[in-house]
Structure 1
Amino acid sequence: MDGPTDDVRGVAVTAEDFGLKGPRGWAFRGIRFEAGPGSLIALEGPSGTGRTCLLLALTGRMRATEGHASVGRFLLPKQLAPVRRISGLGPVPGVTDLDPALTVAEHLHERALLERRFGGSLRSLLRPRDERRNEMRMRVDTALAAAGLDTETLPKGRRTSVRDLERLEVLRLSVALALIGRPRVLGVDDTDLKLSDAERAEAWGMLKSLTERGTTVVAVCSEAPEGAVVVRTHTTRPTDATLLNDDDKETADALAEAGRA
């Protein structure tokens, strides 16, 4: 593959009675859907209905406690590690937060170093250093282009700090960082949060363009776009109403663990 989204072989994602129960109740339950490779899967629902937990479960960062799901040829909840290897996370609060003090260039450099050190095969590590650097530079540039982030338009170019980026620019940067790893499944949380109608359309347009190039995208949202495979999260019964909210310590601990995975 020449780039993170060039000829990417996305994978099918399915779930059957998929659920996760924590100490305070069900985070999500009864999730059923089928989505082919290169689909845009929208996890739609109000905040507090387990959308983020479902996203993390489908990308191998949380272990479901009921039912099963498949991501490509891997089965959940048994094969978490293989699913993590083929999936990447864009913005997920509490898991992939960007450091507001670091610049765009510093975040890109850090991710490139990690990918060169841990993301390649042993054979790739034996290639000449200059060849590996040039390839990684191309991968970074390709990821930025795929995410629609033109660093030349930023206030200080790549030296712009994350704290000085607009919400949509942060989303694009987070997606670009994930794409450097060439994931077959990309997870994105809070896709439409705090975006204007025009910005929301741009965000969905960017994610749809990734699916058109082959990547399967799983995105949390409050309102799914047209053409997406919609998976709705909701509370079904009073006995299931004690959900793992973002403020609960158990959820915070689970998110921290997901970040270490």
Structure 2
Amino acid sequence: MSASTERGREPAIRVQGIEKSYKELHVLRGVDFEVAPGSIFALLGSNGAGKTTVVKILSTLLRADAGAASVHGFDVATQPANVRESISLTGQFAAVDEILTGRENLILVARLRHLEDPGQIADDLLARFSLTDAGGRKAATYSGGMRRRLDIAMSLIGDPPIIFLDEPTTGLDPQARIEVWDAVKKLAQSGTTVLLTTQYLDEAEQLADRIAILHEGRIIVNGTLAELKALLPPAKVEYIEKQPTLEDVFFAVVGSDGAAGRAGDKTSNPVGTDA
């Protein structure tokens, strides 16, 4: 069996016992999760929970103090070059060149990757992200949502099987957020594995096949949206059943004051796993 076939049978991303500290500050305290190929996995948590640190470790920008992680079947510590060839990272702020047009930004990246026919690659991505009409305009004239879509399009040049989106809708207005959500959904539909970090509960609820809540350096709950909602009983008001929202689940496991709540005490292990 070939190495590529073996990689296709295992999780696209596997994280086991990752720890990271900065002097006395323990950012990650033993993080474990897996991401299935072609799925959207949301790492949900408040500011400072350690989400970006996880992404930096998985993208080989930072070394873990303990634990192990693999991306596309490659160990992030011992095979960093292979990992980098398999991924694309989109940070919290769009990294487009505002002096260039949208099309020129895409062509530039395609040329840097030494790909054939960069113009056609640019045109295909502009069409895919509904930016064809704006392709000839300078990126400085783009709205926030358009810049973010262009940024994601640039990340897809070279067809990486795995993409990391670190808080992709930070600072965007509601309409721009919806535009980015649509782009992310299309990524997964095309077979790309997406690891998404976010502090927005509705974003995780709208996009993710599976959601993990990271709190104080640990994954305190991990499951599908239906599994997370099942942690809380439905409320009944005048015979009308109301299912709990993801926001209800989040504050139940984290606690409104930042301390893990009662539901969190009962769900310290991923949903569907044994203690």
Q: TM-score by structure 1 length?
A: 0.70
Asked if the contact 1:90/1:177 (under 8 Å) is kept, the reply is no
Gaps of 5+ in 1: 1-8, 121-131, 238-261
Q: 2:112 is matched with which residue?
A: 114
Cα 1:197/1:105, change in 2 over 3 Å: closer
Q: CA RMSD in A?
A: 2.5
Amino acid at match of 1:144: L
Q: 2:194 is matched with which residue?
A: 217
Return the offset for 1:24: 5.3
Matches within 5 A, 1:156-175: 157-160=135-138, 162-175=139-152
Return the offset for 1:141: 2.5
Residues 105-140 of structure 1 deviation map (CA, whole Å, 9 limit, x = unaligned): 332222121011xxx6xxxxxxxxxxx32xx33322
Residues 200-247 of structure 1 deviation map (CA, whole Å, 9 limit, x = unaligned): 33322221211111111111211213443223222159xxxxxxxxxx
C-alpha separation between the residues in 1 aligned to 2:47 and 2:63? 21
Structure with higher RCO (Cα < 8 A, 6+ apart): 1
Q: 1:78 is matched with which residue?
A: 78
Q: Given the alignment of the two structures, is residue 177 of structure 1 paired with residue 154 of structure 2, yes or no?
A: yes
User: 1:141 is paired with a residue of what secondary structure?
Assistant: helix
C-alpha separation between the residues in 2 aligned to 1:45 and 1:203? 20
C-alpha separation between the residues in 1 aligned to 2:209 and 2:70? 19
Asked if the contact 1:20/1:65 (under 8 Å) is kept, the reply is yes
Asked if the contact 1:20/1:28 (under 8 Å) is kept, the reply is yes
Q: Given the alignment of the two structures, is residue 186 of structure 1 paired with residue 173 of structure 2, yes or no?
A: no
Gaps of 5+ in 2: 1-7, 219-275
Matches within 5 A, 1:1-261: 12-23=12-23, 25-93=25-93, 97-116=95-114, 132-133=116-117, 136-146=118-128, 148-152=129-133, 154=134, 157-160=135-138, 162-222=139-199, 223=201, 224-226=204-206, 227-235=208-216
Amino acid at match of 1:229: R
Amino acid at match of 1:28: L
State the number of aligned residues.
206
How many percent of aligned residue pairs carry the same amino acid? Answer: 30
User: 1:169 is paired with a residue of what secondary structure?
Assistant: helix
Q: 2:252 is matched with which residue?
A: none
Structure whose residues are more often strand by fraction: 2
Return the offset for 1:37: 0.5
The runs of at least 4 aligned residues of structure 1 exceeding 4 Å deviation read none
Return the offset for 1:83: 0.7
Q: TM-score by structure 2 length?
A: 0.66
